[in-house]
Amino acid sequence: MLKPVFMSSSISLQKLAELVGGELITGPGEEAITGIDSIIDAGPGDATFLGNVRYLSALKTTRASVALVPEDLDVSDVPPKLALIRVKNPTLAFSSLIRVFGPPASDFVPGVHATASVASDVVFDPQKVSIGPHAVIEEGVKIGDGTTIHAGVSIGRGVKLGMNCVIHSNAVIKERIGSCATIDRARFGRTWIGEGTKIDNLVQIGHNCILGKHCIIVSQTGISGSTRLGDYVTMGGQVGVAGHLEICDQAMFFAKSGVTKSIHQPGAYTGFPARPLMEGRKMLSLPAKIPDLLDRVRELEKKIAALEGGGQED
């Protein structure tokens, strides 16, 4: 069981192990840990974790000071400079560290700053919404109760914000994002949408996804967490993308494609699992030929049975 956690800016390895209910198996127990990050992006003083075996090679090259690892992991070839803490569930244990090292929640202060520009027809309750300095809210916007809009935010015409949203400084909410699209906040690190990328209605972008520049993501597409898209990637309607994948620049996926592995070559893909276009189309066409093939098999079975019957009579 995880122990209660408290806000702190620095913690020793031994205390960290106690905090997550794990066993420190390498490293000096008094080294100070001052932050958290992904296994790829972490640096000295950071804690990270191994939650997926796909990142086992990254564990050997990470610059982190300590990593939370599964209890059954073979650590014989992990560099000795990396401290390891064995835990039952690294992902769950790491979540407690997010609460330790993450930024404190800011106080909600309702009201509209004097320098904010809010159109006269914006629908909101000024006693239940916080709008910061120099924010610009254009015509036809609706803002749900409990929402905080920080300094310098620009919200375009007709945008609807639900309850308890937090829009951070200088964010722009306009046509790039369609209705009912969901972009998950990162567990740590960031979820990043590149310049010029267009997101259609009913799209799901998982936590810690990185989307490059000028991508087009069409309606009902779902991209699982920690997947990275290059620049100029196009995904048609209802494309499904598994997590922790790398998609190269200028890859294009036809509607209803299922991306189960990383894509390293630019070009068009289709099918499930997604294959290069001509190969994928061929695979998609095969099921339609099954009825004809069954008829041919039945005819062959009849001919074989007739020949076998004739042979027995002779």
Percent of the chain with pLDDT over 70: 93
Query: Which residue out of 113, 207, 214, 244 is catalytically annotated?
Result: 207
- Catalytic residue at 134? no
pTM value > 0.75: no
Question: In which band, very low, low, confident or very high, does the pLDDT at 89 lie, cut at 50, 70 and 90?
Answer: very high
User: Closest by alpha carbon to 94, among 67, 74, 63?
Assistant: 67
- Cβ-based burial of 267 (10 A; exposed 0-12, middle 13-18, buried ≥19): exposed
Q: What is the mean pLDDT of residues 132-161?
A: 94
State how beta strands 240-241 and 258-259 pair: parallel
Q: What is the mean pLDDT of residues 68-72?
A: 92
Percent of the chain with pLDDT over 90: 54
CA-only gyration radius of the chain, Å: 27
Question: In which band, very low, low, confident or very high, does the pLDDT at 175 lie, cut at 50, 70 and 90?
Answer: low
User: Which of 131-140, 181-190, 244-253 is the least confident region?
Assistant: 181-190
Question: In which band, very low, low, confident or very high, does the pLDDT at 3 lie, cut at 50, 70 and 90?
Answer: very low
For the ranges 21-25, 57-61, 257-261, the maximum mean pLDDT occurs at 257-261
Q: What is the mean pLDDT of residues 30-39?
A: 84
Per-residue confidence (pLDDT) for residue 107, from 0 to 100? 75
DSSP bridge pairs for 166? 148
**Does the pLDDT of residue 82 top 60, yes or no?**
yes
Give start and end residues of each alpha helix (H) in 9-126: 13-19, 56-59, 90-101
Location of each CATH 3.40.1390.10 domain in the chain: 11-101
Per-residue confidence (pLDDT) for residue 144, from 0 to 100? 93
Per-residue confidence (pLDDT) for residue 237, from 0 to 100? 95
**Does the pLDDT of residue 163 top 90, yes or no?**
no
Is 241 strand, coil or helix?
Answer: strand
The domain 176-314 having CATH identifier 2.160.10.10: the answer here is: yes
Location of each CATH 2.160.10.10 domain in the chain: 176-314
The domain 11-101 having CATH identifier 3.40.50.1460: the answer here is: no
Per-residue confidence (pLDDT) for residue 186, from 0 to 100? 83
